[in-house]
Amino acid sequence: MPIITFSADGQSFEVPEGISLLEFSLANETPMRFGCTLGSCGTCCFVPESGAENLSEMEDEERDALELHTDEEGARLGCLVGILGDVTIRQDDGP
């Protein structure tokens, strides 16, 4: 099973392959913050510090939302991303 690590506090979780970060975070006590959960508000913006290749492919909806909320290279939205392998993330301080 993939492992997701949150760099802010070092917490790590084993996650089922293919689960969305949103789904896992809502069902477990992770340090991930969410707002609208629809890809509109940017609250769940994060940057993969390692393992970016282990995230689901970015779709147009996510790309468009990111353009509105951050100029951070490699940023992703937690509500729209799936976990396919080990990844370490840093959540943006964002909005």
Give the pLDDT confidence score for residue 33 in this predicted structure: 93
pLDDT given for residue 37 in this prediction: 93
pTM: 0.91
CA distances from 79 to 21, 55, 69 (A): 6, 12, 14
Residues of the chain with pLDDT under 50: 95
Q: What is the pLDDT of residue 72?
A: 92
Give the per-residue pLDDT at 92.
67
Query: What is the reported pLDDT for 95?
Result: 46
pLDDT for the residue 24: 96
User: Which of 80, 76, 79, 71 is closest to 88 using CA atoms?
Assistant: 76
CATH match of 3-91 with 3.10.20.30: yes
